[in-house]
Amino acid sequence: MTNDFGQLVDAHYAPLFRFALSLAKKEVDAADLTQQTFYLWASRGHQLRDGSKAKSWLFTTLYREFLRNHRHNTRHAHIHLDGEPDDFIAETAPVADALDGAAVWEALAQIEEIFRVPLTLFYLEEFSYREIADVLGIPAGTVMSRLSRGKAQLRRLLFDAVDDSKILPMPPAETEDAR
């Protein structure tokens, strides 16, 4: 069981964490969600009869844990007493890649959750419509509709971001005659 569990974690940790980050928007919360999902697998995963459904089970469980935590946090306010930022993100990519990725993540975070979740599962985790429908408990047609609307929102946000950051032309170089 330990070796199987280790292989499961190795195979699914990164995609689960990306999905959790798209939901929670903070690395700390995403790490907690991912860890909780693997904890639940360790305690309940043996009940799954078809091992080929492990990936779907993990994503469904993570999504349900996110919803449960979200409902709990909505009902019970959190107060930070230390004043320290709790969403530190380490920069690991080259600056150009980080900026492009950051712009997309920022835009994705602004999309309504109902559209953001299917977009993340489809484009980042490469789930099929049927798998997304199973994870979210909705019909495949609804998945397609939400993907379409989510892409439209994302496209609009990214185009707005490009319009807002227009590059100003370089000032003309000085010539010796102009001095």
Q: Indicate if 112 and 59 belong to the same structural domain.
A: no
Contact between 9 and 58 under an 8 Å Cβ cutoff? The reply is no
* In a domain? residue 84: no
- Per-residue DSSP letter, 144: H
pLDDT tens-digit map of 140-178:
999 999 999 999 998 888 777 766 654 334 445 444 454
- Sign of the torsion angle spanned by Cα atoms 1, 20, 158, 145: positive
pLDDT at 137: 93
In angstroms, the Cα distances linking 80 to 73, 77, 84, 85, 113 are 13, 10, 8, 9, 25
* In a domain? residue 83: no
pLDDT at 162: 66
Mean pLDDT for 54-59 is: 92
Q: Which of 1-5, 107-111, 138-142, 162-166 has the lowest mean pLDDT?
A: 162-166
Domain interval for residue 68? 1-76
Domain final residue pick, 76, 104, 128: 76
* In a domain? residue 113: yes
CATH classification of the domain holding 72: 1.10.1740
pLDDT at 156: 86
Q: Indicate if 116 and 69 belong to the same structural domain.
A: no
pLDDT tens-digit map of 19-48:
999 888 889 999 999 999 999 998 888 888
Cβ-Cβ contacts under 8 Å for 41 (sequence gap 6 or more): 5, 8, 54, 57, 58, 61
pLDDT at 163: 63
* In a domain? residue 172: no
d(CA 45, CA 7): 14
d(CA 1, CA 128): 29
* In a domain? residue 178: no
- Per-residue DSSP letter, 137: T
* In a domain? residue 121: yes
* In a domain? residue 41: yes
CA atoms within 13 A on the CB side of 21: 18
CATH classification of the domain holding 152: 1.10.10.10
* In a domain? residue 177: no
Contact between 118 and 132 under an 8 Å Cβ cutoff? The reply is yes
Q: Indicate if 102 and 155 belong to the same structural domain.
A: yes
Q: Indicate the number of domains in the chain.
A: 2
CA angle 162, 113, 82 (to 5 degrees): 85
Q: Is 86 helix (H, G, I), strand (E, B) or coil?
A: coil
Q: Indicate if 11 and 60 belong to the same structural domain.
A: yes
